[in-house]
Amino acid sequence: MEETKRYAFSTLLDSSYEDAIAKVRDALKEEGFGVLTEIDVKETLKKKLDQEFRRYVILGACNPPYAYQALEADLDVGLLLPCNVIIYETDDKKAYVAAINPVSALEIIKSPELEKIARKVEEKMRRVVAKVAQG
């Protein structure tokens, strides 16, 4: 797993875009996440702007127990939920996968209680990306 940005965990796979999406979904499920939203960026940009774009999807992942705890701590945290995971096809037909670092995302709120929750979710998201990277 490569970690190139403070706000995300990422990896580059030799597998196809489609395989990467399946791997990410499986890894999320293993860590207790469900996918609430799926945005096909390529399709959306074509439909709305008539622009061509690479294959790119945004998955909005939610771990219900942690989401509930976070919302109990601060109702406005919903502005920063769910945890997004992106998968896109690179120019050389590999799959890039990145997941948000919830600690970085939630530090804007400055809540010790939310930070504790975010640290637990961070561990899970790190494992998701690591599992995907391992194959």
DSSP 10-59: EEEESS-HHHHHHHHHHHHHHTT-EEEEEEEHHHHHHHHH------EEEE
pTM score = 0.93
Q: State how far the Cα of 113 lies from the Cα of 73, in Å rounded to an integer.
A: 7
Q: Is the pLDDT of residue 88 over 90?
A: yes
Of 102, 103, 99, 104, the closest CA to residue 130 belongs to 99
Sketch out the chain's domains with CATH numbers. Answer: 2-134 (3.30.310.70)
Of 128, 101, 123, 135, the closest CA to residue 34 belongs to 128
Tell me the per-residue pLDDT of 47-87, one tens digit each, with 9 for 90 and over.
999 999 999 999 999 999 999 999 999 999 999 999 999 99
Q: Which amino acid is at 41?
A: V
